[in-house]
Amino acid sequence: MNLQFLVSGLGLGSVYALSGVSLVVLYRASGTLNFAIGALGALGAHCAWTLLSLKYPAFLAIVASVVVAAAGSFLYGRFVAPALSHRDRSVRAVSTLGFALVLLGVMGLVWGETIPRRLTLPTDAAYVELLSVRVTYTRIVALGLALATVGAIALLLFGTRIGLAMRSLASDRELGGILGINTTRVDSIAWLISGAIAGASGLLLGDLVRLQPSFLTFLVIPAVAAALLGGLTSLGGTIVGGLVIGVVEGMLTSFPELASYRSAAPFLIALLFVAVAGRSHSLRTSQ
C-alpha cells in the first residue's frame, strides 16, 4: 500500500474537517444545516484571488476571504434565516441550498466558471518531505487551523456567556427563548462564526484543489459527510471524520479498480456510519 496517498489525503482531509466544523457550529446553535458553506468559501476565495491579482498583500487577501464569507453568512443568517426559523429543519437546509445557487450564479457572472485561475498562498513555497511527498506549509496550516478552530470553538462554547446561550438553544430552543435568550442575536453570531470558518476553508480549498466556483461550492458534500461522522454535534468527531474521509479518498488512488470512484468515498463512509450508528442506537433503545 502506498503511504504517499495517506500523506496527500491528510491535507485535504484537514480542510474537509475545517468545513465540517463550520457546519457543526451553526447546526448546534441554530439547528440549520448550511449547504451554502462551500459557496461562501468559494466567494471568499475568489475575492482573495482578485486582491492578489491586483498585487495587494497576501495578508489582506486572506482577511478579505474570511470577512466576505462571514459577512455573506451573517447577512443570510440575520435577514433570511429568521423568516424560516419556525419551519422544519429540512426546509431550512434546502433554503441554504438556494442561497448557494444564488452565490454560484453571482460568482459565474463576476468571475466566470471556465476561466483557469490559480490561487497561490505564501505558504505554498515551503514544504517538508514526508514519505516522498512534499507537504506544503499550506497543508500543515490546514491541519493546524482545523485543530485550533476546534479548541477555540470549545472555549467559546464552554467558557463564554454566548457559548452558554448557544448550548442552551441547542438543548431546547423554545425553552431557551422563554428563559430570555435572544435567539436572533445568538443565531447571527453562529452564522458569522460559521461563515468565517467557511471563508478560511474556501481559501485553503481554492489553493489545494482549484479555484472554480462550482467545484468549490459542491465541496460542501465531503464537509457534510465529516459533520455526519461527528453526529452533527461533536467537534472532535467532525475533525476525525474529515481526516478519515480525506485519507480514504487519497488511499483509494492506489487501487486502480476503485480509483475512478474516489469521489463517492464521502457518501459511502457517511452512509456506513449512519447505518451502523443508527443500528446501535436502535439496539440501545430496544434494550
Binding site for other proteins (CB under 8 A): 2, 4-5, 8-9, 11-12, 114-118, 124, 127, 133-134, 136, 205, 208-210, 212, 215, 219, 222, 246, 249-250, 253-254, 256, 259-264
Dihedral of CA atoms 138, 65, 26, 178 in degrees, nearest 10, equals: 140
If the CB atoms of residues 134 and 185 are measured against other proteins, the closer one turns out to be 134
Q: Give the torsion sign (CA, 130, 134, 138, 142).
A: negative
> Which three three-digit cell numbers place residue 253?
488512488
Shortest Å distance, C-beta 18 to other proteins: 14
Shortest Å distance, C-beta 157 to other proteins: 30
Shortest Å distance, C-beta 265 to other proteins: 9
> Coil, helix or strand for 167?
helix
Q: How far apart are CA 20 and CA 150, in angstroms?
A: 11
> Which amino acid belongs to residue 245?
I
Dihedral of CA atoms 43, 47, 48, 51 in degrees, nearest 10, equals: 170
From residue 142, give the alpha-carbon distance in Å to each of 27, 146, 201, 260: 22, 6, 8, 26
Spatial contact of 221 and 267, defined as CB atoms under 8 Å apart: yes
If the CB atoms of residues 175 and 264 are measured against other proteins, the closer one turns out to be 264
Q: How far apart are CA 123 and CA 143, in angstroms?
A: 13
If the CB atoms of residues 228 and 247 are measured against other proteins, the closer one turns out to be 247
If the CB atoms of residues 192 and 211 are measured against other proteins, the closer one turns out to be 211
Query: 31: how many CB neighbours lie within 10 A of its CB?
Result: 16
Shortest Å distance, C-beta 205 to other proteins: 7
Shortest Å distance, C-beta 109 to other proteins: 12
Shortest Å distance, C-beta 201 to other proteins: 12
If the CB atoms of residues 53 and 280 are measured against other proteins, the closer one turns out to be 53
Spatial contact of 124 and 137, defined as CB atoms under 8 Å apart: yes
Residue 199: which of 12, 79, 46 has the closest Cα?
A: 46
Shortest Å distance, C-beta 33 to other proteins: 21
If the CB atoms of residues 199 and 206 are measured against other proteins, the closer one turns out to be 206
Q: How far apart are CA 214 and CA 103, in angstroms?
A: 10
If the CB atoms of residues 119 and 157 are measured against other proteins, the closer one turns out to be 119
